[in-house]
Amino acid sequence: MAAWLPSARRRLRDLEVRPSVQHIGLVERVGDGVATISGLPLTRLDEMLLFEDGTPGLAVHVGESTVNCVLLGSGEGIVAGSRVHGTAEVFRVPVGEGLLGRVLDSTGQPLDDGPPIKAERHDPVDRPAPAIVDRDPVTRPLMTGLTVIDSMIPLGRGQRELIIGDRKTGKTAIAVDAIINQRASDLICIYAAVGQKTSAVSQVIEAVREYGAPERCIFVVGGADAPPGAQWITPYSACTMAEYFRDKGRDVLLVIDDLTHHAIIYRQLSLLLRRPPGREAYPGDVFYIHARLLERAANLSSDLGGSITALPIAETQAGNLTAYIPTNLISITDGQIYLEPKLFYEGQKPAVNVGMSVSRVGGQTQAPAIKRLAERLKLDYAQFLELEVFTRFGTMVDERTKARIEHGRRIRAILAQPEYRPLSVAEQVGLLLAVGERKLDDLPLDRVERFKAGLRDRLHESCPRACVHVDETGDISEPEQSDFLAAIDALLTELAPGQGAGG
Ligand SMILES: Nc1ncnc2c1ncn2[C@@H]1O[C@H](COP(=O)(O)OP(=O)(O)O)[C@@H](O)[C@H]1O
Ligand SMILES: [Mg+2]
């Protein structure tokens, strides 16, 4: 009957009582995703705090008697007087292979219906960028599969290229196509959504699941409905997840959609925390936080790891590239892809303004065949764009000018591309070859679409080995080029106006 007594005694004997220190503070004020806490004098900057309802927070301002904290969860259970623990730890997110194929929030919790995340370990969200000596120059290409970018604004692995433009000009579409094109490569793709609508994010995920290689992608979502703190740390969490793979020697493509919303969320939090506003009411360190983030994208020297290529996105208002955040981001990155609403509404998609876009480091990585063919094209296209402005006024033009304009129109038609249909190197080379050799100049403009649609299959049918070789090496030999041109000629004959293919 008293059998419990010895067992209880035993358990009491085994129990080890040690003193432990717990820092417990009290919430003074809470609201709008931030909280002020008193009674935590030992808190350090960027320390993670834990509220009694389990919500994590980040200490972003440490004062003499109070700590200001950004909530990383909804914090619905937090009231004035709630208890808060200091953790003496920075905020960490799960990293590892187990994240691949998953949709996560910015704290690393799954948002899909999958099982709990199997993490390799937990890494701090804020980490220093690689040192100068640990970096290599950008030397390997990153193909987006979009002819206009791969031929005119080529990207390299480890580059940071800004995609910038007004709302609804196809910024996300370019990033998504770049991700989809990696189904043919070994890159890991991470898409970080900051302040995006849930419908937009789910469209991205659906597209990648349908056309890309989702098993090599991670989606980190701090959507418009997420708490501001959670939106704010999204790019940092995504970058930490990318760094895990980079350190394993993998190449990662990190899309941050978008940093304008990130800056706005940061401004909101800063104003709520009563930090002094600067230009356009952004806090003084908004440049620094973006620079620090994007510096983490780099090409590591090969003995240390792989690379992170960052494609941050920025949204402009009425095409104003000289606003505060856009100019900041342009100066931080290695170039920008500028999307123009006018081109978009005219139906030129992707609506890349080639003249105002630049890639400052990718040129040296460009596939040799594309590089050779694109050189002339760029020049011809730039001249055409200038000429076109004049001929809009209906001026009489001579035959040579007319020919140049017709040629330019065909270059423009080649640079247009539907969504979710990235092209391989061989297919791009085929297109550039056709237009560069002026094969299309006699084809009616309305049939160029049909030529583009038919070329892919034609090349793969007529010269399959050459296609594989061009895809692998990025270069094209003399005989291969002849084969390509023969295939192009054959296709053009079928499409020629007299051939009854016009119906
Ligand atoms: N190359 C393209 N071809 C056809 N439609 C496109 C293309 N690029 C974008 N779109 C369409 O344009 C719309 C806006 O694109 P989106 O990428 O969401 O713009 P943003 O991210 O700049 O707001 C979407 O409906 C998308 O389907
Ligand atoms: Mg978008």
The pLDDT tens digits for 290-327 are 999 999 999 999 999 999 999 999 999 999 999 999 99
- Residue 404 bears catalytic tag: no
Interval 54-66 mean pLDDT: 93
Distance CA 214, CA 180 (A): 9
Q: Give the per-residue pLDDT at 262.
A: 97
Q: Quote the CA–CA distance of 24 and 83 in Å, as a whole number.
A: 6
Backbone angles phi, psi at 166, to 5 degrees: -65, 175
* The one catalytic residue among 360, 372, 447, 456: 360
Average pLDDT value over all residues in the chain: 93
Q: What is the full DSSP assignment across 236-269?
A: HHHHHHHHHHHHTT-EEEEEEE-HHHHHHHHHHH
Domains of the chain: 24-90 (2.40.30.20), 94-366 (3.40.50.300), 369-499 (1.20.150.20)
- pLDDT top residue among 496 and 243: 243
Substitution candidate for ligand 1 out of 164, 168, 180, 449 with most atoms within 8 A of CB: 168
197 alpha carbon to ligand 2 midpoint, in Å?
Answer: 9
Higher local confidence (pLDDT), 23 or 249: 249
Ligand that lies nearest to the alpha carbon of residue 171, given by its number in the listed order: 1
Alpha helices in 139-258 (DSSP H): 147-152, 171-181, 198-211, 228-247
**What is the pLDDT, as a whole number, of residue 450?**
94
**Of 144, 147, 162, 172, which is best to mutate to test ligand 1, by the most ligand atoms within 8 angstroms of its C-beta?**
172
pLDDT band at 18 (very low <50, low <70, confident <90, very high): confident
Looking at per-residue confidence, does 330 or 392 come out higher? 330
Distance 83 CA to ligand 2 centre (A): 40
- Atom 16 (ligand 1) nearest CA: 170
**Model pLDDT, residue 17:** 81
Q: In this model, does residue 49 exceed pLDDT 50?
A: yes
CA distance 410 to 439: 10
Contacts of 115 (CB under 8 A, 6+ apart): none
> Which ligand approaches the C-alpha of residue 340 most closely?
1
Q: Which atom of ligand 1 is nearest to the CA of 315?
A: 22
Amino acid 394: pLDDT: 66
pLDDT above 70 for 6? yes
Q: Atom of ligand 1 at shortest distance to CA of 173?
A: 17
Q: Judge contact between 263 and 235, C-beta under 8 A.
A: no
Report whether pLDDT(501) > 70. Answer: no
Say which ligand is closest to the CA of 166: 1
- Bridge partners, residue 337, by sequence: 163
**Tokens of residue 484, six digits:** 């390509």
Q: What is the pLDDT of residue 13?
A: 86
pLDDT, tens digit, for every residue of 200-259? 999 999 999 999 999 999 999 999 999 999 999 999 999 999 999 999 999 999 999 999
Q: Are 227 and 71 in contact (CB under 8 A)?
A: yes
Summarize the confidence of residues 180-189 as an average pLDDT: 96
Question: Is the predicted pLDDT of residue 166 greater than 80, yes or no?
Answer: yes
Q: What pLDDT sits at residue 1?
A: 54
Q: How confident is the model at residue 391 (pLDDT cuts 50, 70, 90)?
A: confident
The pLDDT tens digits for 446-466 are 999 999 999 999 999 999 999
DSSP reduced 3-state for 380? helix
What pLDDT sits at residue 503? 40
Q: Write out residues with Cβ below 6 Å of ligand 1.
A: 165, 167-173, 349-350, 417-419
Q: Can you tell me which atom of ligand 1 is nearest the CA of 313?
A: 21
- Which tens digit of pLDDT belongs to each residue from 421-437? 999 999 999 999 999 99
CA distances to 40, 259, 412, 434 from 164, rounded to whole Å, are 43, 10, 20, 30
Exposed/middle/buried for residue 330 (C-beta within 10 Å: 0-12, 13-18, 19+): middle
Cα 114 to ligand 1 centre (Å): 29
